[in-house]
Structure 1
Amino acid sequence: MVGYNSLAVFLFSALALALGGGYSIGATMLFVGSAALLWKRPVLALKKADYLLIGTLLLYFIVRSAIVAFHADPGREYDAPLRFLLAVPVLLLLLAYPAKPSSVWAGLAVGAIGGGVFVGWQLLAQGIVRPGGTTNPIQFGNISMLLGILCMSGLGWALTQPRRAAWTVLLLLGSVFGMVGSMLTSSRGGWIAMPVCACVLCLHYANMHGRRYLYAGLLTLAALIAVAYAIPQSTVKARTLASLQEARDFSRAVNTETSLGQRLEMWRNAIVMTPAKPLLGWGKQGFMDQKLALIHQGKVPASIGEYTNVHNEYLDALVKQGVFGLAAVLALFLLPLTLFARRLKSSDRRVHPYALAGVSLGISYMVFGLTTTFLTLNIGVMMLAFLTVILWSGLRAAGRTPAVPL
């Protein structure tokens, strides 16, 4: 089972961006493989933290599904929360038969490199001004940045391997291609997540090895941002200046039909609608119907009528699922993040790369959620649910077994 799980874990990340729905291949393999638990019946030796993680995944599924049922929303609305339920047997499988560490980090690096090459080809060879890979620019750009950030988290593991030069180069390439892939899509959410996660990495290495790592990391980060902003081929400068101008125009009511202006209108509309149904929200169809009514009354711009979400994870959950739905989202982000963060204090440094990756995963999704609703999308749900259990099982395995060079 270890070999099978290792292949599935590798394919999950490696194909996430280079192939449309590629993440489903590894995820399906893992879920199907979890059936082996029924007849092999391994001793899982679950700890309190494992139960907390499992409880978080189940809580999200139960709360979101119950509210969908309450509002009698279409059956497809069960699809996203169901993925978190399916991640539970996968977690148990990986705790019983952990994937090889090399499959985790190689998959992340190959996935990031493949994604960066893909959008680069779309931009340069196909002439697509804002490439979106196999999905759309926002989704693709955010996941590309996420994979690049996770590759940075794995550098501590790479440096402990016999072939550390090769592993370090591979993960560094993954980091660079992941960030470049995100920049080429012009998706601004990932640009915010990157410096936040980079600061977390710098602080961790500074605590472990001295402040020189903090200073070196922050200088490198500042240099990368400056280069990304300055080079003519980059869209960072143009998109940043555009955001500032759109915000000024919106505040002066000069032009609200911009990308940022429409987002702000959607956020304002969600805030206005929430007090009427604060506990369980409007439901998806109720939200759309009420928004249409407000448009007819002239209280909401018609330009946001076609959007089925609020482009903000927290406000979207609040207006559609109420405070219970919002609490489920916050628990899904914060509880796993806390479990990973606690392991950063472990005296066993073998768990630190996984803990850093888990913290970066949680932070990234919390930042992405400020400008998009990632938990309503297949790629967003799958990457969060399955990367969480993959990284947690890797952390648990690293903490209980002797180091084995791979």
Structure 2
Amino acid sequence: MSTPTTDSSPSVSPRSLLPAIFLLTYPALTLILRGGASAVSIAAAAISLALLLSPKSWGVLAPISWDSVNTRFSIAMASPLVAVLVSEIWHARIVSNTLDSPSRFLAAVPLFLVLRQTLGRTLAWSDLSFALGALASLAILLIAPQSSGIDRISSRILNPIHYGDIALVLGTLSILSLNWWRKDSLPIRILKIAGLIAGVATSVLTGSRGGWIAVPVLTMLVLAVRGQDKSRHWKMLLPIGVGAIMVCVFFSSSSVRDRIDDLSSDLAHYKQGQKDTSLGIRIQLYKASINIVKRHPVFGLGAHGFHDNMQSFADKGVLTPMAAQLGKGETHNEFFAYLTDYGVIGGMALLSIYVVPCAIFWKRLNAPSAPASRAALMGLTFVVAFWIFGLTVETFDLKMTVSFYSTLIAILAALATYADKEGSGVQALAP
């Protein structure tokens, strides 16, 4: 990649200092500070909304040139909140705490609109953010590990499953950011490679095996997107290299081997009728979810419907008492969580926050601007990773994780599409 113009260099004016610092530090702050993801994302959304609503005479933000990208992104991010409200109005029971999580998707809209207006040199401050976030994830485990109570470690602010998944995706984004805005110097390359290693190491230490499913899928995704103009050797070396890393991790880590062995053991026990294992409980909950969807397909059960029906399922023998108790916490599948409580309209809304960003990123993979094209690949990777994470755990039941996802989507979507505004005279936050 050629050295970018001054507009893509990480310089910043006093007016752009706040968004620059935000872009650089957000992933790390998410993992370091309790409530950091929520507090920072809410503050960013509030500031962005204030900028959007400020009088034009102030000259703080140039008028937004509304286009189809803004429309699709805004509708997708608003759809979970709309679906929840429609379902709860249908059931004549609106529960305020169920509106918190979906409202955070909507809060990402003003942030996206403002960042998309920002100059490339301000956006370029995101260059090291993913590497710093991944390194922070490992540093926390090494300096202040916390026992999760299930023989696995995590941080004091997040459970090992979500923590390991976030670290893994940050490590992936770190390596994908190589030569993102310019040809990186050797120290920067080392830092970004270290970010990948840190993300993988953190995932291994937490034992979050659900996230490991994403590794081969993301490898094939990157190979399909980046391999079009690469040599045959590159296409062979990438999957071989990833496979070699996975083999090395397997044979060098007893915890990884134990987690894989547990999976096969759980499956064998389930076939023998012993259902109260990690895998067995998930299978029971999935079957219960399918049963609910069949009986309440359109609007679901309403607020906390899955949670409230666990005891009745246990009484009927559909779930074991242990599965019913754990099911009061979550369904262990994000799609089933929305389908059971909010029906098909909830499921469609959930799909929109995956599919619409993916479509935006896919279209920008061949963007004329190299930084925007790379951001599109990173965004596509991020969404696919979170979709895979959600197959085995609820990813949006915690304020931190939904804030993290929606904010990163807003950032990456703005990075992938900001160049659409270049040369149009719409350059808000300009120095």
Give the TM-score taking structure 1 as reference length: 0.91
Partner deviation per Cα, 1:82-105 (whole Å, 9 max, x = no partner): 101111111111122357244213
RMSD between aligned residues: 2.3
**Alignment of 1:274 onto 2:293:** yes
Confirm or deny that 1:106 pairs with 2:121.
no
Q: Which blocks of at least 5 consecutive residues in structure 1 are unaligned?
A: none
| Equivalent of 2:264 in 244, 249, 261 | 244
Over residues 198-231 of structure 1, what are the superposed CA-to-partner deviations in whole Å (9 max), with x where a residue is unaligned?
A: 2222332221332322211111101110011000
Listed one character per residue, the Cα deviations across residues 262-283 of structure 1 (whole Å, up to 9, x for unaligned) are 1111111111222111111112
Equivalent in the alignment of 2:97? 76
Structure 2 residue aligned with 1:256: 275
Amino acid at match of 2:51: A
Alpha-carbon distance, 1:305 to partner: 2.0
Counterpart Cα distance in 2 of 1:190 and 1:289: 29
Structure 2 partner of 1:22:
36
What SS is found at the alignment partner of 1:345?
coil
Shift of 1:121: 3.3
Change (3 A) 1:315 1:175: same
Deviates more, 1:184-193 or 1:124-133: 124-133
* Superposition pairs of residues 111-150 of structure 1, within 5 angstroms: 111-122=133-144, 129-133=151-155, 134-150=157-173
Q: Partners of 1:111 and 1:154 in 2: how far apart?
A: 13
Q: How far has the Cα of 1:149 moved from its partner?
A: 1.3
For 1:120, the aligned partner's letter is L
The residue identity in structure 2 corresponding to 1:148 is G
Pick from 149, 168, 190 the counterpart of residue 211 of structure 2. Answer: 190
Instruction: Indicate the residue corresponding to 1:31 in structure 2.
Output: 45
Shifted more, 181-190 versus 9-18: the winner is 9-18
Tell me which of 18, 23, 35 is aligned to 1:4: 18
Q: Give the match for residue 265 of structure 1.
A: 284
Task: Verify the 8 A CA contact 2:147 2:154 in the aligned structure 1.
Answer: no
Q: Does the aligned pair in 2 maintain the 1:312–1:370 contact within 8 Å? A: yes
d(CA) in 2 for partners of 1:96, 1:191: 36
Q: Deviations over 1:137-181 (max 9, x none)?
A: 0110111111111112212406x23x4323222211111101111
User: How many pairs align?
Assistant: 398
> Which residue is equivalent to 2:379?
358
What is the identity, as a one-letter code, of the residue corresponding to 1:332? I
Question: Is 1:57 matched up with 2:80?
Answer: no
Query: Residue 176 of structure 2: which of 136, 139, 153 is its match?
Result: 153
CA contact (8 A) 1:205 1:213 kept: no
1:322 maps to 343
Q: Percent identity?
A: 24
Which residue in 2 is equivalent to 1:90? 111
Secondary structure of residue in 2 paired with 1:135: coil
CA contact (8 A) 1:98 1:394 kept: no
Deviations 1:3-43 (A, max 9, x none): 21111222221211122222234323422321122223412
**Distance of aligned partners of 1:342 and 1:156 in 2 relative to their CA distance in 1, 3 Å threshold:** farther
Three-state SS of the structure 2 residue aligned to 1:17 is helix
State the distance in 1 between where 2:237 and 2:66 align.
40
Helix, strand or coil at the partner of 1:305: helix
Contiguous gaps of at least 5 residues in structure 2: 1-14, 55-59, 424-431
Matches within 5 A, 1:206-217: 206-217=227-238
Equivalent residues in 2 for 1:362-381, closer than 5 Å: 362-381=383-402
Return closer, same or farther for 1:330/1:227 CA change in 2, 3 Å cut-off: same
Contact 2:178 2:189 in 1 (8 A): yes
Distance in 1 (CA, whole Å) between partners of 2:248 and 2:144 is: 22
The runs of 4+ residues in structure 1 deviating greater than 6 Å are 124-128
Structure 2: how far apart are the matches of 1:234 and 1:360?
29
